[in-house]
Amino acid sequence: MSDPEDKKLRAVPPLDAEAERLAKGEGLEKAERLANDEGLDKAEALAEAEALAEAEALAEGDALEDEPEALVDDAAPLTRRARFRRRGIYLLPNLITSGALFAGFYAIVAGMNGDFVAAALAVFVAFALDTADGRVARLTNTESAFGAEYDSLSDMVAFGVAPALVAFSWGLSSLGQAGWVVTFIYMACAALRLARFNTKGDNASFTGLASPSAAAILACCVWVWESYEGGTPSSFAAAGMGVITLVTGLLMVSNFRYYSPKSINFKDRVPFMTLVLIVLGSSLLLMDPPTVLLILFTGYALSGPVQFVWRRLRQKRSA
């Protein structure tokens, strides 16, 4: 049982500066009335007014003591509402993450139905949304631990499960046991890559190939085949896809360092030629999207091992 005095103190909030000012003003008015009505001087009238105010405060305290539970119970719903607001989540970045999750799910369904171009495009839609949700969260100051965990689970579906199953449905299934083993290795490497990123974090550079880039390589391979060859892939093409899937998965869990686009500051000034190169690159991309994207992401995937070898050669020359 709690002490009634403690309940009374909790039920009566402390006066703020405005309330104290008003109380003093009312006390002066009462003192002036007493001085006029009863012929007291100003000092005696002020003392009498203060005594009356203390008596009224004690009377109010006794009334609150009679019903303290009701006042405490009335404050409880406000506390629950405030606690609910603290437990809420930010809508905008998590809505974008949900879109990326749906794109990954759609890629799986499209791949199982044999619509491989749509599956590849869905992986790139997930890629774009995954890039957007983090930037939107940082720009709107809505980053949260929940958003980070939800984004990681969405990445596992969109860039781990979806591209692996699309590649398996496209041609790896024809390799038999080797096909599903390679598929599982890729998914496991994607999960390990995401777990390492969540525990260590990468800002200036990535340790291991990022899972969205790995997924883009598999999606581009399928997209290029469907654009130029089409039909059921040959055993040679399926074996080549198996090698690409395995190497891409191993690059995700490697210790190679990769450039992180997070270090790009879009608010900084850039040379004029940078804009010219972006326009030229966009024009080339529109000419043949699957081939250009495959070249770009393959070059990015090879940049990690190339930089590693280059640094080792420089160290040997300087030694």
The first and second tokens of residue 154, run together, are 């969405």
Q: What is the mean pLDDT of the chain?
A: 79
- CATH superfamily assigned to domain 92-318: CDP-alcohol phosphotransferase transmembrane (TM) domain (1.20.120.1760)
Residue 105 has pLDDT above 80, yes or no: yes
At 286-306, the pLDDT tens digits run 888 999 999 999 999 999 999
At 224-257, the pLDDT tens digits run 999 888 788 888 999 999 999 999 999 999 999 8
Residue 5 has pLDDT above 50, yes or no: no
- Global pTM exceeds 0.85: no
> Of 244, 252, 249, which Cα lies nearest the Cα of 171?
244
Binning pLDDT at 50, 70 and 90, where does residue 209 land? Answer: very high
For the chain, domain boundaries: 4-86, 92-318
Please give the pLDDT value at position 6: 45
Say if residues 174 and 235 touch (Cβ distance below 8 Å). yes
Say if residues 258 and 177 touch (Cβ distance below 8 Å). no
Instruction: Name every residue whose Cβ is closer than 8 Å to that of residue 159 and which is 6 or more positions away in sequence.
Output: 104, 123, 126, 127, 130, 190, 211, 212, 214, 215
At 17-32, the pLDDT tens digits run 444 444 455 555 555 5
At 76-87, the pLDDT tens digits run 454 555 554 556
Say if residues 151 and 133 touch (Cβ distance below 8 Å). yes
At 150-203, the pLDDT tens digits run 999 999 999 999 999 999 999 999 998 999 999 999 999 999 999 988 887 666
Phi, psi (rounded to 5 degrees) for 254:
-75, 175
